[in-house]
A and B are shown apart, each in its own frame.
Chain A
Amino acid sequence: MPEPITTLSTLVIEKLSGGITAIGINVPGHSQNVMNQDFMEELEQVLTFLQQNPPRGLLVESLRDDSFLAGADIGQIDTVWSLPSARVKELCDNGRSLLDMFAASPWPSVAVIDGVCVGGGLELALACDLRVATENPKTILGMPEVKLGLLPGWGGTVRLPRLIGTGPAIELIASGDVITGSQAKTLGLVDACVPVHSARESACAFIEQTIATEDYCKRRAELQLPQVLDKPESDFLLATTGAVIVSRTKGNYPAPMVAFDTIMQSATKSMKEAAALESKAFADLSQTSVAKQLVRVYRLGERNRRDCGLGESAQLTSNESVHVNEVQKPSIVGAGIMGAGITARHVRSGFITKLVDIDARTLEQSIPAILEEAAWDRYHQKTNQERVNELTGRLMSSTQLSSIADTEIVIESVIERTDLKRQVLADIEATVSPSTIICTNTSTNPIATLADVFSDPTRFCGMHFFNPVRQMSLVEVICGPDTSDSTVASVVLHAKRLKKVPVVVQDSPGFLVNRVLTPYLHESVELLREGVDPSRIDKVSRRFGMPLGPLELYDMVGLDTAFYAGLVMANAIGDRIEASPVIPALVKAGWLGRKTGTGFYSYKSTGHDAKIESINEKLGDLIDPYRLAEQQMTDEQICDRLFLPMLLEALLVLDEGIVRDGCDVDLAVIHALGFPAFRGGVLAWGDSLGAAEVVHRLDQFSYLGPRMTPPARLLAHAESGRPFALVEERGNLLPKTT
């Protein structure tokens, strides 16, 4: 093996035979290679070195497994928000100039892309003459900047359209999607996709060929040229892609549209003009609150990934009392809608899963649905039948509880009847081994009312999945009165292995999500009683960014379910928020929402997928006995009426210590309720208003009584100006499993 000739902190220069030089990327201190300050400075040094020692050809590769090079270090991005626009432009120009110098070097270069190659990493690869990707499943390529509210700023919007065409480049950049090495080959983004072991050899062969034919010189000249589309093609692209982006972003996320406009303009211009357009667009986006919030939400997710779920006090080392088990052999008891969804998620995640239901018919009906869901091909939007065959062997079903005796974790998901749940949980404990973790999937039963059936309640906690399980990524891990830290940490880890987002909450009515949801839903019905049109209420909520309005959500959840959930909540919030008489009236009328085809709206059919036909015509008559004094309100006031109570409830949740910090609340409302990510979560939204402004806005609703009274915590924040939910790192990172 040739010796490295220069080793910097993030880059290693190595001379290979035949006058080829390789530069290897290895950025310490990060889970991925990232383009931090050190890397950019050293890349410049390497360029100087190469100019003094010109190679025949250059290889750019990663020295780490599964990570070629991700983009800029998100940890350092906050410095950008406070910079003036001109300075941000300069940062883009500097980075891009460095890559341009790299691209203009006299020798041909090839990027060997093995592992993650996104954002700035792909921009560096684009600055090479050739790209060889590997067949490694971890190899992904893309420019996900729009997901952070930004766009590529180091030449991505300049080079990509010139390489793969305007339309395909817009598709990749405006969606932020990542693709595999083989997809990249088909798209023309890379020049070859080869097995990992032959990547370097293939790259060298490419270099020799391009040196021999001088093909790279020709390609460089071609790639400088503007991409000119026929007039009808250009107009058509503008009309169709523009419409797709508008329908996806609903005007709330500016980055995809800015990326689209920038590329449509710049693709037909010179490289220099295109670069200037890119810097301007990046600088403009960096000044938006959406980018700030999306980066924050990204951080919340990263923090959650590393968090083991325990408080700061717990000590997690291998020989301490907390054991985190990576559990195998999961079992689910109860094959109803939730049980089936949870089972499908386990099978999909590769677990050999047991499903028990006392009723053979229920089992029989749920199994095909479970397998279809587990084998769902998201890309093609259909069930992959071959995958169904493969997965069939991973699902075992039985009507006998005894079949799960050797299981390591049980998730009980029978119907929400306390007496039945208690019986089933007691039976489970009697069947399984003493070390088995037992969870209950419940949205309404306090864990304490179930925990006392256990002889060892330390192994028991709540694991609340949201319906539909395949869509909703949040899982509430609920600590009962005696739940041990080991149990919590193991269940948190298990949820992550199911690719869910676990948030640890303390036992209390409605836990976290239903607790903050209730005041919002309640307020929507109060607005109805004050004479506001139902579709207007939902429209305001959707314009705020919610996927469904509150009344549509009631209809989807089912009015009967909402009614019972409301009864549970009364304990927690009854002194401030009285249960609305309208909901029981709807239940009495048999209007249960989508499932009966009538609720607040009339539906074209019955069932989960039913589409709205119109507002329920008889709704007015039903509400009449419960009318309140009619109020004239602006849309802004309606919006505040809906979301301020949610914010106040979140502050009370923090007061009561139900979650560890405000970030968990924001993460939960985004992943369970579809709270708009561009607002950062309910507390971040409150922060964007400022506590003082929240107090001010509440003032106009003081006639509504205690539910609009600023709680002490809000007043304290208004006083101090401190934000509700700062992202701070937690001490406890995910430990090595035992």
Chain B
Amino acid sequence: MTRLSRSPETTPVVVSCCRTAIGRSDAHHGVFRKVRGDELAALVVSEAVARGRVPPECIEDVLVGVTQQRAELGGNVARTIAMLAGVPFSAAACTTNRLCGSSLQGMSQACHSIMAGAEDVHVVAGVEHMQHLPMNSEIDFHPQAFSKSSRAVLSMGLTAEYLASSRGISRKAQEEYALESHRRATQAADTGFFKSEIVECQGLNANGVLTFIDRDQSIRSDANLAAMKQLKPVFLPKIGSITAATSAPMSDGAAAMVVMSEATARRHQIIPMVRVLSTAVIGVSPAVMGMGPV
């Protein structure tokens, strides 16, 4: 769907955003191993509202993207998070799920609402705690869904291997890309690039000492090609090209933003950061799910 809004009343803008640092999902070393997912989300929701300088009474809906909606992120956890964050009860709440695109879906939904002239001021957030809520546990996939595909499409790693081989992306190319990614992230973190977006959050360091976490745990400043070359393929033993160094890590963290119409932002004298002009979704073959976000 492409739609160009012309009126400030129906043009969505982002007015504030923030996130926690990203912790590793590790029961022994993860900085957020003792912090609940809903708490991470509540922290960034209240901070985004504060940064947005919008009166909390104006908030109409809180949309939180969550992929594993159970246990501490179970029920309509967006409502729990809103209440923890001190958002007034008059704001509604809805938990969204499109797996990797869950909070982006919340964002789209907020924009659609503004474009349609329905709700105006939204908080959009997303949270994931892959250590407390591992992927795919307690899920019972219907086997007939795979009658025109295969069960192996459930393994993102295998679909990635398939993409790598069918598009000729070599292991070397992947490793160079990963290295560059770590190098840039390290540089950005060292020069304070992330300072404005990261909200300090209480956590534990590797020794179990209470620490205020303000740096992403998954950035490897010591990444190097020689060490990467030693690693074994994770998803396709021996013949695969993807290793721990070139896979997305399991992470714990949360992010939030405030979205409203351009007209409302003006009324509150808030300077927008981003204007949303259109949104769109499309499906791809399960075997090439990695192409989805590209």
Per the 8 Å Cβ criterion, residues 184-243 of B in contact with A are 236-237, 239
Is B148 in contact with A186, judged by CB distance below 8 angstroms? no
Question: Of B144, B151, B155, which contacts A171 at CB under 8 A?
Answer: B151
Question: Of B147, B149, B150, which contacts A188 at CB under 8 A?
Answer: B147
Of B7-15, B64-72, B111-119, B285-293, the one with at least 4 CB within 8 A of chain A: B285-293
Bound-state CA distance A167–B159 (Å) is 15
* Interface: B142 (CB within 8 A): yes
User: CB-nearest residue of chain A relative to B236?
Assistant: A243
Per the 8 Å Cβ criterion, residues 236-294 of B in contact with A are 236-237, 239, 285-288
Task: Give the shortest distance, in Å, between A623 (CB) and chain B (any CB).
Answer: 29
Q: A171-B151, A236-B152 are in contact. Are A188 and B144 (CB under 8 A)?
A: yes
Is A165 in contact with B144, judged by CB distance below 8 angstroms? yes
Is A165 in contact with B148, judged by CB distance below 8 angstroms? yes
* Interface: A232 (CB within 8 A): yes
Is B143 in contact with A236, judged by CB distance below 8 angstroms? no
Is B159 in contact with A186, judged by CB distance below 8 angstroms? no
User: CB-nearest residue of chain B relative to A230?
Assistant: B285
Set of chain A residues within 8 Å of B142, measured between Cβ atoms: 186
Task: Give the shortest distance, in Å, between A357 (CB) and chain B (any CB).
Answer: 33
Q: A171-B151, A233-B285 are in contact. Are A187 and B166 (CB under 8 A)?
A: no
Is A237 in contact with B152, judged by CB distance below 8 angstroms? yes
Is A241 in contact with B143, judged by CB distance below 8 angstroms? no
Task: Give the shortest distance, in Å, between B286 (CB) and chain A (any CB).
Answer: 7
Bound-state CA distance A188–B144 (Å) is 7
Is B143 in contact with A168, judged by CB distance below 8 angstroms? yes
Set of chain A residues within 8 Å of B161, measured between Cβ atoms: 239
* Interface: A369 (CB within 8 A): no
Bound-state CA distance A608–B143 (Å) is 36
Set of chain A residues within 8 Å of B149, measured between Cβ atoms: 167, 229, 233, 236-237
Bound-state CA distance A243–B161 (Å) is 12
Is A229 in contact with B148, judged by CB distance below 8 angstroms? yes
* Interface: A235 (CB within 8 A): yes
What does the 1/0 interface line of B134-149 toward A look like (CB < 8 Å)?
0000000011101111
Is A164 in contact with B147, judged by CB distance below 8 angstroms? yes
Bound-state CA distance A281–B225 (Å) is 47
Q: A186-B144, A243-B236 are in contact. Are A235 and B150 (CB under 8 A)?
A: no
Is B166 in contact with A167, judged by CB distance below 8 angstroms? no
Set of chain B residues within 8 Å of A171, measured between Cβ atoms: 151
* Interface: A634 (CB within 8 A): no
Question: Of B151, B239, B285, which contacts A243 at CB under 8 A?
Answer: B239
Is B146 in contact with A167, judged by CB distance below 8 angstroms? yes
Is A165 in contact with B239, judged by CB distance below 8 angstroms? no
* Interface: A247 (CB within 8 A): yes
* Interface: A240 (CB within 8 A): yes
Task: Give the shortest distance, in Å, between A180 (CB) and chain B (any CB).
Answer: 13
Question: Of B151, B152, B158, B288, which contacts A232 at CB under 8 A?
Answer: B288
Is A164 in contact with B236, judged by CB distance below 8 angstroms? no
Per the 8 Å Cβ criterion, residues 195-248 of A in contact with B are 227, 229-230, 232-233, 235-237, 239-241, 243-244, 247
Question: Of B147, B236, B239, B287, which contacts A236 at CB under 8 A?
Answer: B287
User: CB-nearest residue of chain A relative to B166?
Assistant: A235
Task: Give the shortest distance, in Å, between A198 (CB) and chain B (any CB).
Answer: 24
Is B151 in contact with A167, judged by CB distance below 8 angstroms? yes
Task: Give the shortest distance, in Å, between B43 (CB) and chain A (any CB).
Answer: 33
Set of chain B residues within 8 Å of A229, measured between Cβ atoms: 148-149
Set of chain B residues within 8 Å of A236, measured between Cβ atoms: 149-150, 152-153, 158-159, 162, 287-288
Question: Of A164, A186, A233, which contacts B150 at CB under 8 A?
Answer: A233
Per the 8 Å Cβ criterion, residues 161-177 of A in contact with B are 164-168, 171
Set of chain B residues within 8 Å of A186, measured between Cβ atoms: 142-144
Set of chain A residues within 8 Å of B166, measured between Cβ atoms: 232, 235
Is B148 in contact with A230, judged by CB distance below 8 angstroms? yes
User: CB-nearest residue of chain A relative to B146?
Assistant: A167
Set of chain B residues within 8 Å of A232, measured between Cβ atoms: 162, 166, 285, 287-288
Is B146 in contact with A165, judged by CB distance below 8 angstroms? yes
Task: Give the shortest distance, in Å, between B236 (CB) and chain A (any CB).
Answer: 6
Bound-state CA distance A489–B189 (Å) is 74
Bound-state CA distance A227–B143 (Å) is 17
Q: A165-B148, A167-B149 are in contact. Are A240 and B285 (CB under 8 A)?
A: no
Task: Give the shortest distance, in Å, between A646 (CB) and chain B (any CB).
Answer: 30
Task: Give the shortest distance, in Å, between A203 (CB) and chain B (any CB).
Answer: 22
Set of chain A residues within 8 Å of B152, measured between Cβ atoms: 236-237, 240-241, 244
User: CB-nearest residue of chain A relative to B286?
Assistant: A233
Is B144 in contact with A233, judged by CB distance below 8 angstroms? no
* Interface: B5 (CB within 8 A): no
* Interface: B170 (CB within 8 A): no
User: CB-nearest residue of chain A relative to B153?
Assistant: A236
* Interface: B165 (CB within 8 A): yes
Pick the most buried of A168, A171, A187, A241: most chain B CB atoms within 10 A of its CB: A168
What does the 1/0 interface line of A258-300 toward B look like (CB < 8 Å)?
0000000000000000000000000000000000000000000
Bound-state CA distance A164–B148 (Å) is 9
User: CB-nearest residue of chain A relative to B144?
Assistant: A188
Task: Give the shortest distance, in Å, between B139 (CB) and chain A (any CB).
Answer: 12
Bound-state CA distance A187–B142 (Å) is 8
* A-B pairs with beta carbons under 8 Å apart, 13 shown: A165-B146, A167-B146, A167-B150, A168-B146, A171-B151, A188-B144, A232-B285, A233-B148, A233-B153, A233-B285, A235-B166, A236-B152, A239-B165
Given A235-B287, A240-B158, A240-B162, 13 other A-B residues pairs in contact with their CB atoms under 8 A: A165-B148, A167-B147, A171-B151, A187-B143, A188-B143, A232-B162, A232-B166, A236-B150, A236-B159, A237-B150, A237-B287, A241-B152, A247-B237
| B positions within 8 Å CB-CB of A | 142-144, 146-153, 155, 158-159, 161-162, 165-166, 236-237, 239, 285-288
Which 10 residue pairs are nearest across A and B when measured between Cβ atoms?
A165-B147, A236-B287, A167-B150, A240-B152, A237-B150, A232-B287, A232-B285, A187-B143, A188-B144, A233-B149
